[in-house]
Amino acid sequence: MLRGIYTATTGMVMNQEKMDVIANNLANVDQTGYKSEEAIFKAFPEMLLQRTREDGMGWVPAGGFDLAPTVGKLGTGVEFNENFVRFDQGAVKSTGNPFDMMLDDRGQKSPAFFVVQTDRGERLTRNGSFIMDKNGYLVTSDGHRLMGENGPIQVARWNWTVKENGEVWINGKIGNDPDTTVNETSNQWENPVLLDRIKIRTVEFPRHLVKEGNSFYSVTPESGPMLEFQPDKEPLVMQGYLESSNVNIVQEMTKMIEVQRQYEANQKSVTTHDSLLGKLINEVAR
């Protein structure tokens, strides 16, 4: 009976973990480039139940070799193992904003990421919503600089464009001074010059990346270091587009209902076992 209470209690803890993950997915459904998570659990070893006599000793049938006939198996609960991140491609959303970029890595073996410079070092991100700071650097909304192969990317507001292979081109006649007065119509692109190439990386085992905040990932010894893509397998960089989160609202709401019902069932089981245990103690006390 006590084991039944323990099993039901671990089930409640499991469902609480599931609910936290589902709630986090729903809270970030509008977050650019957000990747949904799923709680993964592993079961404790099962116990083999065998029939015994009233005195607790094993019952051995005449001519049999078994110490006691097998009744069945009893689960001993589960424990939380990991939050598994699904790196499926999110929906493409056109914005027309040249500071918005997304990575199209459909068909790739491993997901692609932008690289940004933070106070804690370089981090990976799928959030391609960038702005330009007062010094002309492309940065995230938190001020972290987008990295190119040669360092942070610095441009003039209307004097830069990104090709599908990640190359950043500018009009050499205008330069990349952020104080340069130029607009979209006056820039004739008389002298296109390759400025840099956006730094795009992946890892060998993306499931072992560690999430930081809402959109950053840091590498771990298990994920492996940042890796470059092979020339014939590079993802496409789409300027003027953003990647929506890959959270499926209908599926998440369905999961939420299922988890809530499972939690209530386990809660009722605990209450029932507790009531029976109380009656048993009262009978023994008599």
- pLDDT for 128-164, tens place per residue? 999 999 899 999 999 999 999 999 999 988 889 999 9
pLDDT at 61 over 70: no
Range 225-231 average pLDDT = 91
pLDDT at 56 over 70: no
pLDDT at 231 over 70: yes
Q: What does pTM read for this prediction?
A: 0.78
The pLDDT value recorded for residue 182 is: 74
Distance from C-alpha of 171 to C-alpha of 160, rounded to nearest angstrom: 7
The pLDDT value recorded for residue 5 is: 58
Of the candidate ranges 3-12, 184-193, 238-247, the one whose mean pLDDT is the lowest? 3-12
Of the candidate ranges 58-72, 100-114, 224-238, 251-265, the one whose mean pLDDT is the lowest? 58-72
- pLDDT for 160-189, tens place per residue? 999 999 999 998 888 888 777 777 777 778
The pLDDT value recorded for residue 263 is: 79
Average per-residue pLDDT in the chain?
Answer: 84
Range 226-253 average pLDDT = 92
Contacts 24+ apart (CB under 8 A), 228-236: 228/200, 228/201, 229/108, 229/112, 229/200, 229/201, 229/202, 233/108, 233/109, 234/165, 234/166, 234/200, 235/103, 235/104, 235/105, 235/108, 235/112, 235/200, 236/103, 236/104, 236/105, 236/164, 236/165
Q: Which residue has the higher pLDDT, 77 or 258?
A: 258
The pLDDT value recorded for residue 267 is: 78
